[in-house]
Amino acid sequence: MEFGISSSKLFYLFIFGCFALNASTYYGSNAQLIPDDEVRILKAISSKIANLNWNVTSRSCIDGGFKNKAIDIDNFIIRNVTCNCSFSSGKVCHVTNIYVTGINLSGILPSEFGYLTHLQELDLTYNSLNGSIPKSFSRLPLVALRLTGNPISSQIPTEIGEITTLEDLELVDNLLEGTIPSSFGKLKLLSKLDLSGNNFSGALPEGFGNLKKLEYIALDGSNITGNLQDFIGNWTELTTLYLQGTSLQGPIPTTISQLTNLTVLYISDLLGPATMRFPNLKNLTSLQQLVLRNCSINDFIPSYIGEMVHLDTLDLSFNKLIGEIPNNINDLTSLTYMFLNENSLSGKVPEWILQNEDDYFDLSYNNFSETSAPNCQYNNVNLASSLSSSAKTSHACLKRGLPCEGKPKYHSLFINCGGPEIEYDGNKYEGDTNPGSISSFFLSDDKWAYSSTGIYWGRSDYKYLVTNEFSLNINGPDFYQTARLSPLSLKYQGLCMINGNYNVKLHFAEIMYSNDRNLSGLGRRIFDVSIQGRKYLRDFNIIKEAGGVGKGIVKDFNVDVNNNTLEIHLYWAGKGTYYVPDNAINGPLISAISVSPNFKIERNSAGAIAGIVIGSCLFLIMLIVFVLRRMAFLGGKDSKDKQLSDLETGYFSFKQIKDATNNFAPENKIGEGGFGPVYKGVLSNGVIIAVKQLSSKSKQGNREFVNEIGMISALQHPNLVKLYGCCIEGNQLLLIYEYMENNSLANALFRSQGPKIHLDWPTRMKICVEIARGLAYLHEESRLKIVHRDIKATNVLLSKDFSAKISDFGLAKLDEENTHISTRIAGTIGYMAPEYATRGYLTDKADVYSFGVVALEIVSGKRNTSYRPNEEFVYLLDWAYVLQEKGSLLDLVDPSLGSSYSSQEAMRMLEVALLCANPSHSLRPSMSSVVFMLEGKLLIQAPIIKPRESDQDARGEAFEITSSQDSHSQTFNSSTKSHENVEQSVDAMDGPLSRDNHSQTFASFAFSDERVEQGVDVMDGPSTNSFISLPSKYFSPSSRLLKDSN
């Protein structure tokens, strides 16, 4: 039998063999394969996460990624895994990017991700993964890690700070807690950091100052604590800063002025201090959105806001702003939203605001004097309660407090918030279906009103009325099917109510979240509830209180109505989640309000008539008393006392202060101020205070007292002595300050008798920087330029932890416009700048000079006016110039420090001190620059100029001028002290020189026996200087005014 193959069959076999050979070549030696160990890791991940459904093989990376790719940007759904197949000449692939978002992945976050050694991006946003962040992630070369919207919990592992390749870290709306790891300071490539919507504790680590490449940082609702730190000034590339709803303390540091690239700045709901000045944002000219809400800012709106030409949003609501709205804000053509509600702004409501029909402005709850607006909602401007209670207007809703126009007549109130009129439990709930807007006020007849304000950021579908859109099975009244929602602040007012005690019930149900959209219950709507100005509910969470979505919860309260108006305020303080379940729908929400009286309603009864009669009699008696007081028959307080009592400071009764100081016992006396003695006291609550008593002998009198209290009460800074308040009763005028346990800096440095405080080098460095910060605040952060004029060691007080605080603002001068001030000279010999001492030329650079002298004293431990190494030198400063020329400045360092100091820091402080004490005021740096130079963040700005020979005695020229002008004016008061006391006082050098430029009347040093005896040895107290004249011979420069210090 013959076997044969035809030629055609041979041809087909040949072709098939070629294909087989090519396939073998492609899928063999040239195939792009994932290594077997990586395949096993990917399979393990897929097996632990529900809904991931990866079917991974070694060939899954063909065409650069997994085949089951799905992208739906609108619904935040992405399923995409990409690979890099360039390894081993294109034969090996590694997974480099995993994006799996919004597909309801569940299970524990697998640690196996940490073994994908080439993974650069991991994005698992909007899923339901739980557990904690695996420490194994630290092995990865990650550039981006995004776990937003997953119920992962526990602390962030310290190891995450070891991923030094990270540029983008987003851990938002999770359940993370504990402190933020200090190791984050190693993430120096980080450009975006978002930790919002978590429950962290503790302060931001100091290492955050190393994150100098940050462009975006958000810590909203993260519950971090501590003070806002100066290191934020290191984030000079930052464009976006969100700090809403934290537990941070103010004030906002001066270093924020360095963030010149900022376009978005949100800071809200700082916990302290009680008041602060408007931060210096003048350099932030690129700002588009500026929000400083509820930050206790007690200041004028700075005019430079009107120069921020890119600004489209300005929110300064819920502060203590005063003064008028700057007119140049009208020049901001991009401004669309402006919220200035809940302040104390005054003047007339600007017409340009009322004429704007396209933008949204809220001026409600202010203190304006008048407006041309015909009603409380004009165009898109909310003007409810915007005028003072004494303003003349025909619309009661414009007045502060929404007073009742007629006779109070209502004793109950029922509102179906966000829904139609319904009846429940025998009561008719009025409908509340006004659509609302970004800034709106609605008045329902004369019985009730609501005011709503705020923006839903990131959404175009503004929603203020909501319904049960997810068909949640809600048990209970129909009013739980609807609700009114506000992005920020929602106020309801019951109007013209009869005064008395009421039961207020607030009804809530969460109808905007559903379980399938809430990502395992992550969504948290958190807000505060206040009634009649008292906060009854803080961080109220409807779902938590009701036990789930679609469940009603009632909160009831008993409250008093005393002014015929009931106010219920719901306020979002930046807490809760931000992106879960949906972007920006997490403001306050309420379903219904019911208000019932806790008193019996009587109509035309004999008791009511009797009440009217008695009330009328009381009113008549009060009217008579008022008239008699106006006629001075009953000894009413004079206008000066009224001027004092009108100031917005804490008020103490004279009895409180007497009890606190043990009736001003001599042993409680701790110093003598210019107005009189200073006493230590202890209030009934245990708070220790320093009491400055206005002396009846003081020539300054009430005028200067008023000036001082008005100024100091407005100044709040960690490095300024805090004024608690005042006492005005009869002739008693008292200032009450915080007590400084460690006395004055002079006491610590120069005390010659008794136990001496040892200041180590770190403490001295800290004190010097803090004095500089305090002065930077006075000079640059206040709307008014504030020049202290008497910076010296006795006017720097030390707290228990040796924090430095500047005291004695009695010599301070507010200068709003002028570059120099022609007024009486007030300062202390040896600390006054030459141009001020000789010509009365005063700018903030005079304080810079004085600071330079104090800095020398801190380093050397020697008093400028009493250290004389030999007869040729009058001051420590003179000797410093000599040592500088010799190149041996460090010889000035206090010998008591031994070798326990940083020579680098000491040299820096000495060089800065001499730069500050430059004879030419124009060459002295600003105090903010001084802070940066002391901290080593800024090079010393210019070479230190050694004084010319003609400048050597510049500080004594004041006395030469005084003597030469003695012939023109012999108006010197006689000395009230013996020469011995004068010499003793001069040795203490605690006295200011005073000159009145108009009369050429010269006064001399301010000393009292008590200050001489106790001024250095005991707490100097927050005091001002009085003036006692010396004979002109004591101004002679030849006398040097000093003794050898031995």
The catalytic residue positions are 790
Rg (CA), the chain: 36
C-alpha neighbours within 13 Å on the C-beta side of residue 391: 27
List the one residue out of 943, 783, 765 whose CA is nearest residue 859.
Answer: 765
DSSP 222: -
- Residue 892 burial by Cβ neighbours in a 10 Å radius (0-12, 13-18, 19+): buried
Nearest-angstrom CA–CA distance, 85 and 32:
7
Nearest-angstrom CA–CA distance, 861 and 875:
14
Nearest-angstrom CA–CA distance, 340 and 333:
18
List the one residue out of 874, 840, 854 whose CA is nearest residue 994.
Answer: 840
In this structure, are residues 818 and 785 in contact, taking their beta carbons and an 8 Å threshold? no
SS3 589: strand
Across 734-753, b (16+ Cβ under 10 Å) vs e yields: bbbbbbbebbbbbbbbbbee
DSSP E strand boundaries for 389-426: 413-417, 422-424
Amino acid identity for residue 456 in this structure: Y
Torsion of CA 196, 197, 201, 203, to 10 degrees: 20
Hunting for tokens 């803080």 — which residue is that?
Answer: 538
In this structure, are residues 107 and 51 in contact, taking their beta carbons and an 8 Å threshold? no
Two tokens, residue 400: 């502060």
Two tokens, residue 652: 């103490």
Nearest-angstrom CA–CA distance, 508 and 964:
81
Nearest-angstrom CA–CA distance, 498 and 561:
8
Nearest-angstrom CA–CA distance, 547 and 556:
18
Q: What's phi and psi for 76, nearest 5 deg?
A: 60, 35
477, containing H or E segment: none
In this structure, are residues 828 and 845 in contact, taking their beta carbons and an 8 Å threshold? no
User: What CA–CA distances, in Å, run from 677 to 630, 651, 812, 884?
Assistant: 33, 20, 20, 42
Nearest-angstrom CA–CA distance, 436 and 449:
12
SS3 984: helix
Q: Which residues lie closer than 8 Å to 339 by C-beta, 6 or more apart?
A: 293, 314, 315, 316, 317, 361, 362, 439, 453, 454
Q: Other C-beta atoms within 10 Å of 249: how many?
A: 15
Q: Other C-beta atoms within 10 Å of 870: how many?
A: 7
Amino acid identity for residue 231 in this structure: F
In this structure, are residues 148 and 194 in contact, taking their beta carbons and an 8 Å threshold? yes
778, containing H or E segment: none
SS3 315: strand
Nearest-angstrom CA–CA distance, 62 and 85:
9
- How far from the centroid of its chain's Cα atoms is residue 682's Cα? 30
User: What CA–CA distances, in Å, run from 75 to 110, 151, 168?
Assistant: 25, 20, 22
In this structure, are residues 553 and 525 in contact, taking their beta carbons and an 8 Å threshold? no
In this structure, are residues 555 and 565 in contact, taking their beta carbons and an 8 Å threshold? no
